[in-house]
Structures are given as structure tokens and as C-alpha cells.
């Protein structure tokens, strides 16, 4: 679990979900120093590639969470991890449903980069899915049970942690122990709408349950003043912990 000396602000990754390069650069600049880092995902990466990531993060920019959710044969995923090392991400994502060999290959490719390597996080069940959605794709296992299964598989495969919804944080913390990283999207402060996330929790609730890092998008990015919205979330966390 994250050490107690870590501040609430440093636990937050702002999800910059846009294909507009100038908007992404401006947003990253506004929240840099207010939150712990910036998440750039598949939509942005397909539009602008590694050069776009460098343009947003810069040489001394905020820590990068590169959320590409790699899912392919082990050799291809390992190659993808190696190709991303130049961007110096703090975190990268793969899909746990790719299986143990794929996860091991990703972890080994990251480890070869040495002390500054990215932490590999395995996505369990997407936060947009519920029990009905899993059933529709032929996975009759309830969400919580599937998340626990995939979390334990990820840990056994050598990855650093998982991405999970806030609803499964306490379950995974108990199952996977204190040193397994839990990166948690589906976070909505008390004053924000849930939008398309089906399994949500407030920032303070998620951290109290055992989350290490929180991914927060629209409550920050959709605000007139993103930095002030981020500060408001930090204050809410601090009040919840008081």
C-alpha cells in the first residue's frame, strides 16, 4: 500500500482523454504540481503517437501513466513495453485476461529497464462493465469474483499491481496484500456526476478502502478551472481522512 508520507495530491492521476494536442498540453500544464501525474490513453496515443506524449509531458513534466491496455501474444506485448520505455512512463497497462505468459513477458520486459522502469498494471474488469455485461460476453462469473481471480493471477505472474474499480479495492487488498499496487478509476467526488462509470466511489472512500492511486478525469478536465477542481478533490480527501 502507498506509504503514509504520500500526500493525497500525489495519489491522483488526471485522465487527459482528448485527441486535441494543444488542449492536452494546456491541461497537463495546468494540473502539473497539483496532482501526482497525467494519464494518456489509447485515443490520444493513436492520434499523436510517442511524439504527442513527449509534447504533453516534456522533459520535466508530471509522471506519466501510459494507459494502452496492451493485449496480444506474449512476444508482441513484451515488444510493446520495450518500445514505450523511451517515454519513461511511471505506469503502463496490460490486460490480465491475456493470461499469465503474456503478463510475465510484460513484467520481464519492464524489469530489464532497471530502477527507472515502468510499473506494469494489469486491467481486471473494465469499470464500464457490470454482471450483466460479463454474462453477455460469455463470462458468467460475477464481477467481484472475476476481479479477484484476475488480480491473484496478475500477482502470481509478476506484475506490480492492477487497475480495478473502487468496488473491488478492499477485496483485492485483502487477497493480494499490502504491496500490490491498486490503481483505481471510476472515482467521482461527491459533487460530480457518475457519467458512464457503473462502479464508482468518492476519492476519500477509495483511499480508505486501500487504493494507492486514483484516476480522475471529467471532474477535473471538464471544470472551468481544472487546477481548482483538483485542489477541491484534494481537500475532499483530506476532510474525509480527518
How would you label 206-234 residue by residue, b for 16+ Cβ within 10 Å and e otherwise? bbebbbbbbbbbbbbbeeeebbebbbbbb
- Contact status, residue 36 vs residue 15, Cβ threshold 8 Å: no
Is the pLDDT score of 1 beyond 70?
no
Mean pLDDT score of the chain, rounded to an integer?
Answer: 90
Provide the 3-class DSSP secondary structure of residue 38.
strand
The CATH code belonging to domain 9-241 is: 3.20.20.70
**Residue 13 to residue 185: CA distance in whole angstroms:** 9
155 in active site: no
Catalytic one of 39, 69, 119, 155: 69
201-229 average pLDDT score? 92
Read off the pLDDT band of 233 (50, 70, 90).
very high
User: Greatest CA span in the chain, whole angstroms?
Assistant: 47
Read off the pLDDT band of 193 (50, 70, 90).
low
Q: What are the domain boundaries of the chain?
A: 9-241
Is the pLDDT score of 197 beyond 60?
no
Residue 142 grid coordinates = 460475477
Read off the pLDDT band of 4 (50, 70, 90).
very low
**Residue 207 to residue 226: CA distance in whole angstroms:** 21
Amino acid at each position: 500500500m502507498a506509504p503514509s508520507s504520500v500526500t493525497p495530491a500525489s495519489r491522483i492521476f488526471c485522465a487527459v482523454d482528448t485527441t486535441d494536442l494543444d488542449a492536452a498540453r494546456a491541461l497537463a500544464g495546468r494540473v502539473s504540481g497539483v496532482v501526482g501525474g497525467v494519464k494518456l490513453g489509447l485515443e490520444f496515443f493513436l492520434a499523436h503517437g510517442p511524439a504527442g506524449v513527449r509534447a504533453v509531458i516534456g522533459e520535466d513534466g508530471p509522471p506519466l501513466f501510459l494507459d494502452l491496455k496492451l493485449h496480444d501474444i506474449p512476444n508482441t506485448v513484451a515488444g510493446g513495453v520495450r518500445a514505450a520505455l523511451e517515454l519513461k512512463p511511471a505506469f503502463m497497462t496490460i490486460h490480465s485476461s491475456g493470461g499469465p505468459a503474456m503478463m510475465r513477458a510484460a513484467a520481464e520486459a519492464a524489469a530489464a529497464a532497471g530502477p527507472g522502469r515502468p510499473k506494469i498494471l494489469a486491467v481486471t474488469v473494465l469499470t464500464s462493465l457490470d454482471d450483466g455485461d460479463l454474462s453477455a460476453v460469455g463470462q458468467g462469473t460475477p464481477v467481484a469474483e472475476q476481479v479477484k481471480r484476475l488480480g491473484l493471477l496478475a500477482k502470481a505472474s509478476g506484475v506490480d499491481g492492477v487497475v480495478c474499480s473502487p468496488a473491488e479495492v478492499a477485496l483485492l487488498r485483502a487477497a493480494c496484500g499490502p504491496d500490490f499496487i491498486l490503481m483505481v478509476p471510476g472515482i467521482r467526488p461527491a459533487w460530480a456526476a457518475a457519467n458512464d462509470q457503473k462502479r464508482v466511489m468518492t476519492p476519500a472512500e477509495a483511499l480508505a478502502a486501500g487504493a494507492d492511486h486514483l484516476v480522475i478525469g471529467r471532474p477535473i478536465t471538464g471544470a472551468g478551472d481544472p487546477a481548482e477542481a483538483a485542489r477541491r478533490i484534494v481537500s475532499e480527501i483530506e476532510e474525509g481522512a480527518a
